[in-house]
Structure 1
């Protein structure tokens, strides 16, 4: 071994970062991987965030209490986008089911896909301002949950 290689080896062995890295346990081979960066799931997160911002705006401005709002173009467009989001959530569920991975996220996405149309219908059916406020709050919570379950670090199955 040449002197240069010996010195380089010694320096590498004395680097505290190398020692710290060696002290950490190796990553589990079957550790769950986040899907948040995959295009479908990133699209779900973006759409959910956009729709939640709309719902939050309606709640803050009281716009949903205006006569004709539920039959207007804005709400009709929202309903269509919410239905598309529910379809994407179901696609995410199916993809995860076919992969045989991430049981919790798979089930949550299916539940969200089934709940979005129900929450939109509840908002549409609300006849009083307090009922609309509750429906808006529940819809905003569901849309936020849709973002958080995808972006949360995956947990190993128990």
Structure 2
């Protein structure tokens, strides 16, 4: 037995995940490829996750209900970052469109880029704490969705 085969056998026997991965069928050459590792899309994930953490903090603390919150540096900075994220999501859409991909991610990124400013405006326009909390939760959901659609494994076309 060659050294390579012996090593492969030892690894397969020592780690069950290696054996499970080896048992998987080979990936088809035309299978969709995840873009999550590409710099633009990885940046979208990072930015969305960071903004979601901020929104979650506002929901937990009730900070968004304080007088002057919408003029505060925390909110104005957040709004600027959310606007930038929306523009980057649209850029991601355009990159995928230019590649000629015909998948859900391309469409979802465009939708998120259009919805982001609307969700931020809904937070600002909420007339009371209860409606503001709902608007913040919807914004947090959109930010989380932005992360999940990029990081979830792509599905082959049916």
Mapped to 2, the partners of 1:144 and 1:21 lie a distance apart of 29
What is the match of residue 134 of structure 2? 134
What is the CA-CA distance between 1:26 and the residue it aligns to? 2.8
Mapped to 2, the partners of 1:110 and 1:39 lie a distance apart of 18
Which digits, 9 at most, give the CA deviation of each residue in 1:76-128, with x for residues without a partner?
11000000000000000000011112510000000000000000000011110
Matches within 5 A, 1:3-22: 8=2
Aligned length: 149
What is the match of residue 39 of structure 2? 39
Larger Rg: 1
Matches within 5 A, 1:65-76: 65-76=65-76
Mapped to 1, the partners of 2:55 and 2:133 lie a distance apart of 10
Mapped to 1, the partners of 2:36 and 2:150 lie a distance apart of 6
Mapped to 2, the partners of 1:25 and 1:122 lie a distance apart of 47
RMSD of Structure 2 on Structure 1 (CA): 2.3
Find out whether 1:121 has 2:121 as its counterpart: yes
Distance 1:100 1:135, change over 3 A: same
Find out whether 1:58 has 2:58 as its counterpart: yes
Distance 1:150 1:22, change over 3 A: closer
Contact 1:45-1:147 at 8 Å conserved across structures: yes
Mapped to 2, the partners of 1:20 and 1:79 lie a distance apart of 45
Gaps of 5+ in 1: 1-6
Q: Which range moves more in the overlay, 56-65 or 24-33?
A: 24-33
Find out whether 1:27 has 2:27 as its counterpart: yes
| Length-normalised TM-score, structure 2 | 0.86
Gaps of 5+ in 2: 13-18
Mapped to 2, the partners of 1:39 and 1:20 lie a distance apart of 30
Displacement over 3 Å in runs of 4+ = 19-25
